[in-house]
Amino acid sequence: MSLLVETTAAAGRPTWETVPGRIAAVSKETHDTFTLQVEPPPGDPVARFRPGQFSMLYVPGVGELPISISGDPGHRELLTYTIRSVGQVTYQIVTRKPGDFIGLRGPFGTPWPVEEARGKNVLIVAGGIGLAPLRPAIYHVLRHRGEYGRLVILYGGRSPRDLLYRKEFAAWGMLPDIQAMATVDYGGVSWRGHVGVVTTLFRHVRLQPAETVAMLCGPEIMMRYATRELESRGFAQGQIHLSMERNMKCATGHCGHCQMGQFFVCKDGPVFPYSQMKPYMDLYEL
């Protein structure tokens, strides 16, 4: 596991110190999902993130949530978050207006293994909102295109109207040496793409397991099947990386909520090598 997090996270700053972030823009991605651009205080370490890390976003008087950063790690003047409005706090965040302020802490957690993946192919497998935490890794690969082999992006959503970043996704697919495919559970009459769970896309792509690093984020059930599928296709456990989700209150390993066996998902994760998660993936109510 990468120890670099210790230097890139806001270490040295008291755990609960929160800085104001000014909302620069709110845009609607889908019927329930929004992307926010937040301007951190100039030069603040809260913006020094690596792909896969998350921030704690705080709406005063309402609450605080861990939200993955979904923007380009090469553009740190604005922090980007893609949020599905499903609860009190997420609703309050996505209904903020430009010029409003929210509280920021972080960045926290382990990053995607973009350094390890250098010189190799990258396979991205995303489910639903899980594409958001993976997008910084995609941006990283695109920005350093020569340092990586093929980039395969497989994305599953519930229905066409739930797919994120649709224009951008289509544009990724037009770039050389990139394969980007989406599939949905329910297509509807106008959908002409794939229908089925994301693992059904595996047979359409050339995976080259020996030279590929896989990064997965989505519902646990999706990652459970995707990891099995990848293993059966010859991926070693150490080549597969997952981003896990658990309840988090502090992000620093002190509130206890995010424990998963021996791990605190907030500080030992959220990105784990599959070798660490495999013993836990099938344990019900762990």
Partner 1 sequence: MRKKQYRLHQSDLSSLLENLRRRGYQPYGPQRRDHAIEWLPLDGIHQLPAGWTTTTAPATYRMQERSDQALFGYWTGPDSLKKLLHPPEACLLKAEYNGGVRFVRQAPAEVKRAFIGVRACDLAAVAALDRVLLSDRWVDDIYQANRNGALLIAVNCTSSAPTCFCASMGSGPRARSGYDIALTERVGDGSSEFLAEPGSEAGASILEELTALAAPAGWEKEAEESCQSAAAAQTRAVDASSAPAVIDRTFDHPRWDQTARRCLACGNCTSVCPTCFCVNIEERNALDLRSAERLRVWDSCFTQAFTYIHGGSIRTTPKSRYRQWLSHKLARWQEQFGMPGCTGCGRCIAWCPAGIDITEEMAALEASSGSTYPTGVSTHGN
Contact status: 45 vs partner 1 (CB under 8 A)? no
Here the tokens at position 202 are 């595996």
Contact status: 255 vs partner 1 (CB under 8 A)? yes
Q: How far is the CB of 6 from partner 1 (least distance, A)?
A: 6
Q: How far is the CB of 244 from partner 1 (least distance, A)?
A: 10
Site string for partner 1, 101-140 (x = CB under 8 A): x-x-------------------------------------
Contact status: 20 vs partner 1 (CB under 8 A)? yes
The Cα–Cα gap between 4 and 2 comes to: 5
Q: Choose which of 116, 161, 224, 231 interacts with partner 1 (CB under 8 A).
A: 224
Q: How far is the CB of 203 from partner 1 (least distance, A)?
A: 22
Note the residues at the interface with partner 1 (CB under 8 A).
6, 11, 14-20, 22, 58, 60-64, 84, 86-87, 101, 103, 221, 224, 245-247, 249-250, 252-257, 259, 261-262, 264, 267, 279, 282-286
